[in-house]
Structure 1
Amino acid sequence: MTRADLLNNQDPNLLQQEWWVQRWLELLDSYRFKKRLERARIYAREGNVLSIEFEGGQVLAKVQGSEVEPYQVSLSLDPFTDEDWNYVMQTLSEKAVFSAQLLAGEMPNNIERVFTQNGLSIFPFQLSDVRSYCSCPDKANPCKHIGAIYYQLADRFSEDPFVIFQLRGRSKAQILEGLRELRCRQIEENGSKIEENQQKEAKKSNKKTKISEPSNELDLTAFWQYDQPLDPSLVVIVPPSDGQTVLDVLGRIPLAHEEAKIVKDHLQQVYQTVSQQAMIAALNVNSDH
């Protein structure tokens, strides 16, 4: 069953979206015109949404309706200020698990606390918090064309949680670059403190013992060793750019179709968990140097 089928099925046992996707769809669930929402789901499922593009934090889309020309739809949220984002980025950078989960395509369960502590909400509280427009003659808002974009964005959120941040004014590239710079700065500050402590210890040691002259002889056994910390600007931990996993590279599992699907789904879950834990461990290691 596809995700679009799940969106069209109201059985709570089948509706297994991620929690952040459910939060977004709760906005539509509060809408009292249920028949209009049903038509919006059909539009989203049957390909009436011709395109969705981001222009900054605004969503611009084309939805094919009953007319020859598609309708123009726009949707946006109030963006956070630079000051608000600076606070959020600083908090995110201090916890490696946030960065690791976001890079693994997951929204951390307690990430909302980062925003609420500063009086912010990453998700809109009600439909009136979403600025939307459609060029169709329907005066209702959301109309079925705007509703179709809501459902399509839910699909985007499921694949990439960074999309909700873009609606608040920061793209995925900006967030990742900002986190990298902040973590590098933290690593440099920690490195400076370590170096300062080492210099103090060296001065104490020099007072007690005579420092021997360095030898000009080349020690071949230690030729390939490098004991100094790496330049943090050279260390970047990100998932593969093509999104492929080991399972994709290895190809089809040599089992019957249904059995292969069950095994692959299980291994994908295991692989995602292992990858996430590895990334958390790597970020923690880097932060200690």
Structure 2
Amino acid sequence: MSSYDFYEYESIAEKRDRAAIKRRSYQKKHPNAVPITINGNKIAKSFWGKAWCNHLKYYADHDNRVSRGRSYIKNGFVFDLAIKEGLVTGTVSGSGNNLYQVIITIDPIADQRLEEQINGHVESLEDLTYGKFPKALEDVFLTSENGLFPKMNEIQFSCSCPDSAYMCKHISAILYAVGAKLDSEPLLLFELRGVDTSALVKRSVEEKMSSLLENASSAKSDRIIEDDSVIDLFDLE
């Protein structure tokens, strides 16, 4: 191909059709695969899904990889996604018949760090026991510095593609796929960071009750002192 030749333009619809054909073929061989497809122009629609996607800019070393990753997820090139404690794995379709394996490891969040963030919000944690993400704690959980999002030194990437970028377009696509998944399953964010939500709620409630009992005991002690003073004042036996 000469320097004046150009690749034939492929429309978005054509890209998606090509991805759908490859995805169906992949699923026949891997029936347990969980592909991620996007309806509409937005990858994530919920507060937590959007916040996750917005946070990805902190990991990128090349902006064009991020934009191409968005294109990959929107066009249906994420053929499989799995999320569990401390680990995200995925399969992304590349050019031709190439498939690339992405592995993302995330360090567990320190219990003390999380408990400091939720201190004073025990009532809102009740939603966690019903499998809901407490809206009142959105800002607490999703801050870039001390929330549930992994910091730069808490997340590691690897991809089987030849790209030397720290966060290639395939890794970017999988990270965006996580954001899309959080739309329907926001509590996966806790699982990903190694947080046992039941234990977190139980521990927070116990600490709250302990604090209330201490305050009640202190108030009772003050009341006893007041009663004794009254007896002395009126010389009562």
TM bucket, shorter chain: 0.5 to 0.7
Alignment partner of 1:172 out of 194, 197, 207 = 197
1:53-109 deviation per Cα after TM superposition (whole angstroms, max 9, x unaligned): 423xx21424264799986532234544x4xx4254145232346535666424535
The 5 A counterparts of 1:34-113 are: 34-41=67-74, 42-44=76-78, 48-49=79-80, 51-55=81-85, 58-63=86-91, 65=93, 72-80=101-109, 82=110, 85-96=111-122, 98-99=124-125, 104-107=132-135, 108-111=137-140
Q: TM-score, normalised by structure 2?
A: 0.56
* Contact 1:102–1:161, Cα closer than 8 Å, also in 2: no
The 5 A counterparts of 1:1-289 are: 4-6=38-40, 9-10=41-42, 17-26=45-54, 27=56, 31-33=63-65, 34-41=67-74, 42-44=76-78, 48-49=79-80, 51-55=81-85, 58-63=86-91, 65=93, 72-80=101-109, 82=110, 85-96=111-122, 98-99=124-125, 104-107=132-135, 108-111=137-140, 116=145, 120=146, 122-123=148-149, 130-136=155-161, 139-143=164-168, 145-201=170-226, 203=228
| Alignment coverage as a number of residue pairs | 191
SS in 2 for 1:176: helix
Q: TM-score, normalised by structure 1?
A: 0.48
Task: Give the counterpart letter for 1:5 in structure 2.
Answer: N
SS in 1 for 2:63: coil
1:203-248 deviation per Cα after TM superposition (whole angstroms, max 9, x unaligned): 456666989xxxxxxxxxxxxxxxxxxxxxxxxxxxxxxxxxxxxx
Specify whether residues 36 and 89 from structure 1 end up closer, same or farther in structure 2 by C-alpha distance, changes over 3 A only. Answer: closer
Q: CA deviation at 1:166?
A: 4.6
* Contact 1:98–1:111, Cα closer than 8 Å, also in 2: no
SS in 2 for 1:5: coil
* Structure 1 gap segments, 5+ residues each: 212-289
Task: Give the counterpart letter for 2:115 in structure 1.
Answer: M
* Contact 1:65–1:71, Cα closer than 8 Å, also in 2: yes
Q: In structure 2, how many angstroms separate the alpha carbons of the residues matched to 1:54 and 1:39?
A: 23
Q: In structure 1, how many angstroms separate the alpha carbons of the residues matched to 2:103 and 2:46?
A: 25
Q: In structure 1, how many angstroms separate the alpha carbons of the residues matched to 2:231 and 2:192?
A: 58
Higher relative contact order (CA 8 A, sep 6+): 2
Specify whether residues 68 and 203 from structure 1 end up closer, same or farther in structure 2 by C-alpha distance, changes over 3 A only. Answer: farther
SS in 1 for 2:77: helix
Let me know the Cα RMSD of the aligned residues: 4.5
Specify whether residues 129 and 115 from structure 1 end up closer, same or farther in structure 2 by C-alpha distance, changes over 3 A only. Answer: closer
Q: In structure 2, how many angstroms separate the alpha carbons of the residues matched to 1:93 and 1:4?
A: 37
* Contact 2:87–2:106, Cα closer than 8 Å, also in 1: no
Q: In structure 2, how many angstroms separate the alpha carbons of the residues matched to 1:112 and 1:154?
A: 15
* Contact 2:101–2:160, Cα closer than 8 Å, also in 1: yes
* Contact 1:132–1:146, Cα closer than 8 Å, also in 2: yes
